[in-house]
Structure 1
Amino acid sequence: MVSVPATDEVALKRRGFTLALLTAAYFFSYMDRQILAILQEDIRRDLLLSDTQLGLLAGFAFAIFYATLGLPVARLADRGNRVNIIAIALALWSGMTAVCGLAQNFVQLLLARIGVGIGEAGSSPPSHSIIADLYPPEKRAGAMGIYSLGVVLGAAGGTMIGGTLAHFYGWRVAMFAVGVPGILLAVLIKLFVVEPRRGLSDPTQSAASHGDMPAFGEGFRSLFANRAAVHLVMGVTITSLIGYGHTAFGPSFMIRSMNLDKLQIASIVAPVGAVAGTLSAVGGGWLANWAAARWGLHTQAWLVLAMKAVGLPLSFLFFASSDPWVGVPIYWVSIILVNSYLGPTFALIQGLAPLRMRALWAAVTLLVINLIGLGLGPTLIGVISDALKPTFGVESLRWAMLTFAAATPWALFHYWRAGVWLKRRGA
C-alpha cells in the first residue's frame, strides 16, 4: 500500500503533466461541443434545418443534460475517484461525437448531441477539484488559466480540423475524425493521472477533508449565501450566454455576411484566433496572479471587468463590418481581451468554496452557466435571426450577434460587485 506522503509527492511531481492532460480533455470537450459551428451550414443544407433548429442542437438540447447531470457527477467526484470519472466521461462523449456523423435527420442528430452532453457532464467539475488540490491559492488562477485554454484551443481546433475535413471529405467524416482520438486520451488519463489528496495544497484546511460529506442542498445554500460567489456566477453566466451564442454562429456569420468560406475560416481565421485565445487565457491568468499578489484577490474580478470593457467596442466593430480583412483582425484583437475571464473566475470560485464542496460548487456554477449560457445563447441567436429575416434577409444573423454583444455591460456590473464583496472579505 502506498503511503499518503508518497502519494502526495507523486501527485505534486506530476501536477504539470496532470494539468496538461486535463487541459487536453477540456480541449476535446470543447472541440466536440463546438465543431457543429463550422459544420452547421453544410448540415443545414444536407438535413434541411432552420437557424432555430441549429441553435437547439448547439444550445438547449445539448445543455439541458450537460448541465443537470453535472450535479450528481460532482457529488460523486466530491466523494469518489475523480480520475475514473473523467476518463469514463471522455470516452463516452468522444464516441457520441463520432455517432453524430451517422445522423440522417434532425432527431437522430439531436439524440447524438444529447449523448455528447451526457458524457461531457463528467469533465469539468472533477477537473476543477483536482486542479484546486494540486495548486495553492496564489498559483490557482494561472493553473485555471492554462486549463481554460481548452475553450479557445478546442473551439479553434474544431474549426480548423472540422472545416478542413468537411471541405474535402464532408461533415460526417469530420465528426468521426474529432471523436475517435478522445477515446485514446481517456486511456492516457486513466493510466497516468494520480488522484490527489483533497486539500493537498490547502494545508490549513486539510483536516476538513476527513469530515462528513455535506448535504446536497447545503452546497447550493452555501454558494448562494456567498455574495461574492453569486456575483461571480452571474458575471460568468452572462458572459457565457454572449460567448456561446457568438461561438455557435460565428462561422455562419463570416460565411453569410463576410463571404468567407469554410476553408478560409479553418486555415486563416481559426489558427490566428487560437494564438490570440492562448495569449488571452495564459496572459489573463498570469495578470490575475500578479494583481492578486500586489493588491489582493479582489482585483482579479476587476481585471476581468477592465479587459472586457476595453474589448467590447472591438466586438461591435467586428459584427458591424462587411469586409473580412478589416473585421477579422479586429476580431483577433478582441479575443485577447474578452476571453481572459475563465481562469480568474473559476479560481476565485474554487477559493471561496468549502473544501468538501469544490466539485459541487463547480457543478452548480456550470449548471447555471450551461442552462442559461450554453442552453439559451445559441438558441436565442437562432430564434432572433429567424425572427429578423423578413426585415433584414441574409443580414439577420449580423443583427442577432450585435444584439447579444450589447448585453456585455450587465456582466461587467457583476464583476465589479464581486470585487467589492471580495475586498470586504479581506481577499
Structure 2
Amino acid sequence: MKNYKENKWYVLTLLTLVYTFSFIDRQILVILAEPIKKELALSDTQLGLLTGLAFAALYVVLGVPIARLADKGNRKNIIAISLTLWSFMTAISGAASSFHQLLLARIGVGIGEAGGSPPSHSIISDYFPPKKRATAFAIYSMGIYLGVLLGFVVGGYIAKSYGWRIAFYSLGLPGVFLAILLYYTVKEPRKGQSDLIKTNSKAPTIKEVFKTLFSYKSFIYAALGTGFTAFGQYGINNFFPSYLQRIHGMNLAQAGYILGLVFGVGGGLGVFLGGYISDRIGLKDLRWYLRGPMLASIVSLISFAVVIFSNEISWIIGMLFFTTLFSGFYLAPVIGVTHSLVNAKMRAIASSVLFFILNFIGLGFGPLTIGYISDLLIPKYGDSSLRWAFSIVFVTGSLATILFGWAAKHYKKDLKRFEASIQTN
C-alpha cells in the first residue's frame, strides 16, 4: 500500500480542508457584518468593499506570479506558507478598531489566499487522471461550502455569545496548525504523473501560458461565465445574512445557522454533483462539461426570482437552497476543462488566470455593486433596498448562461487542437 503521504485520497482530503479554512476566513466577515457595521459605523458600500474588492484586489493580482512559482517549484510548501499567513491575518482582524484597520487586515487575508487554490489544483491534477478530475475538483470545491457552513454557523454562534472579535480569533488561528500538518504529511508529487500525454520538462513562462489559454475560445467564454456566475454568488452570499436580519427580523445566530446549512449543504451538494455528473455524461459528449453549467444557471435564476420576491420565509429558504445548489454546478467542470487545455507545467498558472477572472468580476465587484446600489436605494426603499439591489443578478446570470453555451460550442475543437499541438512538440 502506498505511503499515506502519497495517497491521493488523503492528499485530496487535506487540500479540501485547507480550502475549507480559506472560505471560513474569507466569509466570516459576512456573518459578522451587522455588528461590525454598527460598532464601526459603516455603510453598505464599505461592507461590500470589505467583503469583496478589498480581499480580491491583491488576491487576483498576486495569484499569477505565485502560481508561476508553484509551476516551477514546491507547491506543497507554497500552500503551507500561504495558509499560515491568511490564518494569522484573519485572527488579527479581531483587533481592528476602524474601517481602515479592518481593510488592511482583509487585504492581508487576500495576499495569503492567493497562494492557496492554484497550487492545490495543480497537485490534484497530478494525482487524478483526466476522466476523474472533475469529480476530484468537485470534492475539493466542496471546501467552499463547508467553509461557509462553519463560518456562518460557528462564527454566528461565537459572535452572539462572545462578540465578533472573539469569532475572528477563534476561527483564524486553527489554520496555522493545519499548515503544520500539511507541511509534514503531504509529499510533493511529480508534475504530470497522471497525464495520458507526457510533456517536456521545461516550465513555460507566464506569457506562454496566457498565449495558450487565450487562444481557446472555449476557455475565454467559460472563464467569463464563471466570473458573472460568481458575481451573483458573492453578491447574494455576502449580503443575505444582512437581508434576513434587516427585513425578516432574524438575529445573528439564527441567520448564521439557517444560511450556513443552506449555503453549506446546498452549495456543497451542487458543486459535487456538477463535477460528478460532468465526468459521467462527458464520456459521451465532452461539450456537456459546459452545457451542464449553462442549464444549471437557468434553473438557479428561476428559483432566485422566488427568493427575492417572496415574503414567506419558508419559500425564501427553500428556494435559496435550490438557487445555491444549481449555481454551484459550474466550478468543477470549468476547472477540469481549463486543465485539459494546458500541459502539466502550466496548470497552476492556468488556474490562477481562471480565478483571476472569476474573482475580479465576481468577488471584486459583486458585493461592492450590490452594496452601492443598496445605498442608492435606501432613501426610497429603506431596509428593502437590498431586495432591489439583488435584481442585478438576473442580468449577470443571464450573461453567464449565454457564455457557457458559447464555450460548449467551441470546446471539442479546442481540445483537438491542444492534443495536436502536444503531439507535434
Superposition TM-score tier, normalisation by shorter sequence: over 0.9
Establish whether residue 341 from structure 1 lines up as the match of residue 330 from structure 2: yes
| 1:249 aligned residue | 239
Tell me which moved more, 254-263 or 125-134: 254-263
Q: Deviations over 1:201-253 (max 9, x none)?
A: 10422x42x12x22221211111111111111111111111111111111111
| 1:419 aligned residue | 408
Q: Distance in 2 between matches of 1:180 and 1:169?
A: 17
| 1:326 aligned residue | 315
In the TM superposition, 1:380-419 aligns within 5 A as: 380-419=369-408
Structure 1 letter corresponding to 2:305: F
Task: Select the residue among 89, 99, 124 that pairs with 1:106.
Answer: 99
**Alpha-carbon shift at residue 318 of structure 1 (Å):** 0.6
**Alpha-carbon shift at residue 107 of structure 1 (Å):** 0.7
| 2:17 aligned residue | 24
The 3 A distance-change label for structure 1 pair 62 and 325 is same
Q: Secondary structure at the match of 1:259?
A: coil
| 2:219 aligned residue | 229
1:11–1:194: 8 Å Cα contact kept in structure 2?
Answer: no
Establish whether residue 353 from structure 1 lines up as the match of residue 342 from structure 2: yes
**Alpha-carbon shift at residue 337 of structure 1 (Å):** 1.5
Q: Deviations over 1:129-160 (max 9, x none)?
A: 01111111100000000011011111121111
Q: Secondary structure at the match of 2:27?
A: helix
Establish whether residue 76 from structure 1 lines up as the match of residue 69 from structure 2: yes
1:31–1:155: 8 Å Cα contact kept in structure 2?
Answer: yes
1:228–1:417: 8 Å Cα contact kept in structure 2?
Answer: yes
2:68–2:349: 8 Å Cα contact kept in structure 1?
Answer: yes
In the TM superposition, 1:2-401 aligns within 5 A as: 10=3, 13-205=6-198, 207-208=199-200, 210-211=201-202, 213-293=203-283, 295-401=284-390
Q: Secondary structure at the match of 2:173?
A: helix
Q: Distance in 2 between matches of 1:219 and 1:250?
A: 38
Q: Distance in 1 between matches of 2:259 and 2:50?
A: 24
Q: Secondary structure at the match of 1:353?
A: coil
The 3 A distance-change label for structure 1 pair 141 and 269 is same
Structure 1 letter corresponding to 2:78: I
1:257–1:322: 8 Å Cα contact kept in structure 2?
Answer: no
Q: Distance in 1 between matches of 2:77 and 2:150?
A: 26
2:231–2:396: 8 Å Cα contact kept in structure 1?
Answer: no
Q: Distance in 1 between matches of 2:230 and 2:258?
A: 25
Q: Distance in 2 between matches of 1:76 and 1:299?
A: 33
Alignment RMSD: 1.6
The 3 A distance-change label for structure 1 pair 345 and 27 is same
Structure 2 letter corresponding to 1:358: R
2:141–2:271: 8 Å Cα contact kept in structure 1?
Answer: yes
Q: Distance in 2 between matches of 1:27 and 1:99?
A: 19
**Alpha-carbon shift at residue 267 of structure 1 (Å):** 2.5
The 3 A distance-change label for structure 1 pair 204 and 424 is closer
**Alpha-carbon shift at residue 12 of structure 1 (Å):** 8.8
Q: Distance in 2 between matches of 1:424 and 1:349?
A: 14
Structure 2 letter corresponding to 1:298: R
Given the two structures, how large is their TM-score scaled by the length of structure 1? 0.94
Q: Secondary structure at the match of 1:78?
A: helix
Given the two structures, how large is their TM-score scaled by the length of structure 2? 0.95
The 3 A distance-change label for structure 1 pair 118 and 19 is same
Q: Deviations over 1:88-114 (max 9, x none)?
A: 000100010000000000011011111
Q: Deviations over 1:389-415 (max 9, x none)?
A: 112111111111122233211001111
Structure 1 letter corresponding to 2:163: G
| 2:420 aligned residue | none
| 1:3 aligned residue | none
Q: Secondary structure at the match of 1:101?
A: helix
Tell me which moved more, 153-162 or 38-47: 153-162
**Alpha-carbon shift at residue 316 of structure 1 (Å):** 1.2
Structure 2 letter corresponding to 1:297: L
**Alpha-carbon shift at residue 11 of structure 1 (Å):** 7.8
Q: Distance in 1 between matches of 2:308 and 2:301?
A: 11
Identity of aligned residues (%): 41
Q: Distance in 2 between matches of 1:358 and 1:12?
A: 22
**Alpha-carbon shift at residue 426 of structure 1 (Å):** 6.1
Structure 2 alignment gaps of length 5 or more: 417-425
1:11–1:134: 8 Å Cα contact kept in structure 2?
Answer: no
Q: Distance in 1 between matches of 2:210 and 2:247?
A: 43
Q: Distance in 2 between matches of 1:11 and 1:158?
A: 29
Q: How many residues align?
A: 416
The 3 A distance-change label for structure 1 pair 80 and 13 is closer
Structure 1 letter corresponding to 2:69: L
Q: Deviations over 1:342-374 (max 9, x none)?
A: 111111111112322111111111112222211
Q: Distance in 1 between matches of 2:184 and 2:394?
A: 43
